[in-house]
């Protein structure tokens, strides 16, 4: 009961967090709805598995191009326009995807939806880090990630059933409606949280490298050891996530014999496990630091991917996906919380934009590469590569990064000057 009361206080005693979590739920409910059916929809155009992967790569490519400029813009002009404009574009892209008659037109509208996703997700991450402290950053990001996972948990089951009843285009229509509802909600409810509004501004004594243009600040962050290592972890996590979305539905259908509703159920089960673990994972980060969350998660995830590739029946396949859900749940908000912890306060937008950009590199590369491996060498090779990348990145982070008990020292930030008498 005490855990439930603590979780409730995070939501109900912080209106900004509640508002952002509501819009995150709407946006991610939409994205979750298409997760199990997008590869199947793309396959109706008669293309290869590698080409199916492009529907994820173009979405992530748009995010990769927009994340950092969105973060820089948020530092200069505020966060609200990201949380309003992002869902508008994402909704338009989803609705227009439902009208696609070829892979090429589907890719165009997936790109538009990716731009909208980049604007929203970057803005939401910045807002949550604006209102967080060093003592609760992991838990606050975990609450927002919990809203994300709730949408992802409910979405696949809804999408699978809807596709079975109304066809593979119907989920895109529902996605568009959910995103447009999020835009309207944010217009009326989201306040401005950039430093100087409700968050404290950069200390007057902050050194020169924390100032400068957004692009120079991004380069300073990226060249730091800790940020470079967490970026490597993030690339691997996004690579595994995108690769999983590309080949797991096809593997489940072609090798295990599951239908659309069954595939949606498997995705929902993994997301449910993530949801159950997200708040404990945030508390794990706040108490023990990033290594305690990242390294065990990578080991479990690698094992799960290899078990999935080796499974030959429905029972073994579902058991392996349960292990995968547990492993990804342990990770929780640790990478994002660590990236925010080591960023200067007045460069949170740049840090979150850069963090999401390097992650989306993995999301862009994975679908065609993993799809190619599945076409040419078999599904098991795709699962092997995804698990291996995660394991290598996390072990490097465990050896060289996140050494302290707390999330880690900030980059180029000095203590605030004493207030005037």
CATH number at residue 148: 1.20.1250.20
Of the pLDDT bands very low, low, confident and very high (cuts 50, 70, 90), residue 196 is: low
> What does the pLDDT look like over 365-380, one tens digit per residue?
887 888 888 888 888 8
- pLDDT attached to residue 398: 86
The residue that leads in pLDDT, 261 or 16, is: 16
Q: Is residue 416 part of a domain?
A: no
Q: Is residue 30 part of a domain?
A: yes
Q: Is residue 3 part of a domain?
A: no
Contact 190, 80 (CB under 8 A): yes
Burial class (CB in 10 A: 0-12, 13-18, 19+), 415: exposed
Q: Residue 58 belongs to what domain range?
A: 10-194+207-400
Q: Is residue 38 part of a domain?
A: yes
Contact 342, 227 (CB under 8 A): yes
Q: Which of 315-324, 333-342, 355-364 has the highest mean pLDDT?
A: 315-324
Q: Is residue 412 part of a domain?
A: no
- pLDDT attached to residue 282: 87
- pLDDT attached to residue 204: 34
φ, ψ for residue 114, nearest 5 deg: -65, -40
Question: Residue range 150-156: average pLDDT?
Answer: 78
Report whether pLDDT(6) > 70.
no
Q: Is residue 4 part of a domain?
A: no
Report whether pLDDT(117) > 50.
yes
CA angle 51, 52, 56 (to 5 degrees): 110
Count of domains forming the chain: 1
Average pLDDT, the chain: 80
Contact 73, 349 (CB under 8 A): yes
CA distance readout (Å), 110 to 88, 259, 309, 329: 14, 24, 29, 27
Count CA within 13 A, CB hemisphere, residue 248.
28
- pLDDT attached to residue 412: 38
The pTM of the full predicted model, rounded to 2 decimals, is: 0.72
Q: Is residue 327 part of a domain?
A: yes
- pLDDT attached to residue 210: 39
Report whether pLDDT(240) > 70.
yes
State percent of the chain over pLDDT 70: 87
- pLDDT attached to residue 182: 92
Q: Is residue 417 part of a domain?
A: no
């Amino acid at each position: 009961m005490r855990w439930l009361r603590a979780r409730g206080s995070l939501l109900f005693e912080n209106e900004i967090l509640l508002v952002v979590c509501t819009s995150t739920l709407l946006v991610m409910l939409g994205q979750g709805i298409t997760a199990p059916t997008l590869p199947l929809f793309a396959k109706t155009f008669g293309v290869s598995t590698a080409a199916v992967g492009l529907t994820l790569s173009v979405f992530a490519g748009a995010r990769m191009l927009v994340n950092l400029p969105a973060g820089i813009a948020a530092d200069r002009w505020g966060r609200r326009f990201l949380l309003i404009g992002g869902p508008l574009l994402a909704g338009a892209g989803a609705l227009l995807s439902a009208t696609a008659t070829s892979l090429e037109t589907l890719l165009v509208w997936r790109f538009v939806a990716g731009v909208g996703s980049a604007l929203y997700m970057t803005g939401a991450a910045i807002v949550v880090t604006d209102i967080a402290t060093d003592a609760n950053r992991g838990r606050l990001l975990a609450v927002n990630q919990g809203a994300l996972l709730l949408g992802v948990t409910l979405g696949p089951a809804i999408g699978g059933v809807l596709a079975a009843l109304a066809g593979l285009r119907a989920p895109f229509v529902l996605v568009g409606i959910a995103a447009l509802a999020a835009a309207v909600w944010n217009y009326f409810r989201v306040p401005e949280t950039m430093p100087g509004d409700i968050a404290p501004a950069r200390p007057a004594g902050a050194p020169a490298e924390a100032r400068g243009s957004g692009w120079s600040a991004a380069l300073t962050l990226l060249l730091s050891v800790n940020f470079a290592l967490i970026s490597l972890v993030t690339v691997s996590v996004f690579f595994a996530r995108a690769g999983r979305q590309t080949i797991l539905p096809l593997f489940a259908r072609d090798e295990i014999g599951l239908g659309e509703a069954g595939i949606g159920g498997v995705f929902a089960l993994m997301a449910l496990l993530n949801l159950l673990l997200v708040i404990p994972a945030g508390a794990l980060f706040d108490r023990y630091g990033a290594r305690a969350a990242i390294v065990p998660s990578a080991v479990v995830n690698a094992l799960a991917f290899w078990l999935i590739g080796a499974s030959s029946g429905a029972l073994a396949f579902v058991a392996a996906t349960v292990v995968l859900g547990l492993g990804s749940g342990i990770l929780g908000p640790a990478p994002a919380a660590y990236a925010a912890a080591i960023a200067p306060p007045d460069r949170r937008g740049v840090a979150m934009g850069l963090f999401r950009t390097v992650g989306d590199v993995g999301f862009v590369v994975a679908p065609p590469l993993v799809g190619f491996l599945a076409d040419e060498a078999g599904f098991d090779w795709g699962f092997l590569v995804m698990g291996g990348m995660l394991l290598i990145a996390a072990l490097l982070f465990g050896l060289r990064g996140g050494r302290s008990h707390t999330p880690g020292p900030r980059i180029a930030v000095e203590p605030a000057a004493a207030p005037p008498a």
